[in-house]
């Protein structure tokens, strides 16, 4: 019974993870909106570096809680609060790392000391790249992974992805 409960809990992890609340900071002055629309009612101002808790992301909007108020701000107006440098690299940005469960060794890699505990998990810093020997066998394997356009299109259609004809963006104006 306990095991069955554990099974249920573990299976829920990846689903719950996407909804995990994240701590963020407002980038520039703006307004909290009642709804995720540009012409929605404004429910109060936000100021630079104001802490927010991100409850949900929806397209270009984030539903946040800040100073006891709840509302929507542009996703592009939020950066995440820096995590403590001690956070293990095996950890996800939010919520428990599923890989850390399947691969506890990844938790041993620390970020605080700038050193890597020997775990057999390979990091990839500048030094690793400088010391790397080109691996032709891996390159051959990579060559076998590619799919053709027809396969990609069939999969996209199965997934109901909608194509859009859009031009590239220019740099835009400063605020």
Partner 1 sequence: MRRLRFLSATLAGCAALAIATPAAAQFDLGGLLRGAQNAKKLGDSLRKIPEAEEITLGGDLASIILGAAPLIEDPAKQLYVNRLGRWLAMHSERPDLPWRFGIVDSPDVNAFSMPGGYVLVTRGMFERMRNESELAGVLAHEIAHVARKDHLGALQQSLRNSALGGFTEYVSGGGGLAGTFRTALINAGKDMFARGLNKDDEFDADRMGVVIAARSGYSPYGLVGVLQTLSAAPDDKGFALHNRTHPLPVERIERLDRAMGTRLDGVPGLVEDLPSFVALRAPPPVRVLPPPPPPPRRRRDRR
Residues 50-109 within binding reach of partner 1 (CB under 8 A): 57-60, 74-83, 85, 87, 89-90, 92-93, 97-99, 101-102, 106, 109
∠ at Cα 138 (137, 142), nearest 5°? 120
Closer residue to partner 1 in complex, CB, 68/162: 162
Extract the tokens encoding 133: 């020997």
d(CA 164, CA 175): 28
∠ at Cα 98 (85, 4), nearest 5°? 140
Closer residue to partner 1 in complex, CB, 68/126: 126
∠ at Cα 78 (75, 79), nearest 5°? 125
d(CA 118, CA 105): 9
d(CA 41, CA 135): 58
For the CB of residue 63, give the shortest distance to partner 1 in the complex, in Å: 14
For the CB of residue 40, give the shortest distance to partner 1 in the complex, in Å: 12
Segment lying near partner 1 (by CB under 8 A), choices 45-53, 63-71, 110-118? 110-118
Given candidates 69, 96, 110, 117, which one binds partner 1 under the rule CB under 8 A?
A: 110
Closer residue to partner 1 in complex, CB, 118/175: 175
Segment lying near partner 1 (by CB under 8 A), choices 40-48, 64-72, 129-137? 129-137
Given candidates 24, 46, 52, 71, which one binds partner 1 under the rule CB under 8 A?
A: 24
Which residues in 20-52 are b (16+ Cβ under 10 Å) and which e?
eebebebbeebbbbeebeeeeeeeeebeeebeb
For the CB of residue 117, give the shortest distance to partner 1 in the complex, in Å: 11
């Amino acid at each position: 019974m306990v095991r069955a409960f554990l099974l249920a809990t573990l299976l829920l992890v990846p689903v719950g993870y996407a909804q995990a609340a994240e701590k963020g900071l407002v980038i520039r002055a703006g307004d909290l909106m009642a709804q995720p629309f540009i012409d929605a009612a404004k429910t109060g101002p936000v100021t630079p570096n104001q802490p927010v808790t991100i409850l949900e992301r929806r397209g270009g909007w984030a539903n946040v809680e800040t100073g006891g108020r709840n509302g929507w701000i542009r996703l592009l107006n939020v950066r995440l609060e820096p995590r403590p440098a001690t956070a293990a690299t095996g950890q996800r940005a939010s919520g428990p790392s599923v890989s850390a469960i399947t691969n506890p060794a990844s938790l041993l890699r620390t970020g605080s000391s700038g050193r890597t505990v020997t775990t057999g998990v390979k990091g990839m810093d500048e030094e690793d790249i400088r010391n790397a020997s080109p691996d032709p066998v891996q390159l051959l394997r990579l060559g076998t992974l590619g799919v053709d356009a027809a396969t990609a299109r069939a999969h996209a259609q199965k997934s109901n992805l909608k194509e859009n004809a859009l031009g590239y963006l220019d740099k835009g104006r400063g605020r």
